[in-house]
Amino acid sequence: MNISELNLTELESKTLESFIGGLYAEPGFSDVDVNDIANELGISTKIIRGALGSLVKKGIVQIETNDSGYDIIYLNTPYWALVNENWAEESKMYI
């Protein structure tokens, strides 16, 4: 699976690519928030929030507020293969 197969808009694709680029730790972990993506892409957080809202509706990501008040973005398990082979293998245990 790759991002181009997901039938996303250009902004959704850029947002998802940026988000996935920030996933560096163990499968399922994230510390990426909207500000990280907005800063990397040079796009306002308001616009990125709209793209993330679309990705939530499509079931690709979910957003949770942590104890520090950040809205952390998580990749839903069926899409872990987009990150790397390690995440893809780990997802098989949950799907």
What are the tens digits of pLDDT across the range 34-83? Answer: 999 999 999 999 999 999 999 999 999 999 988 888 899 999 999 999 99
Q: May I ask the CATH architecture of the domain 7-91?
A: Orthogonal Bundle (1.10)
In the chain, what are the domain boundaries? 7-91
Report if pTM > 0.75: yes
- Report whether pLDDT(10) > 80: yes
Of residues 20, 5, 9, the one with CA closest to residue 83: 20
Among 57, 79, 63, smallest CA distance to 3 is for 79
With a cut of 80, say whether residue 95 has pLDDT above it. no
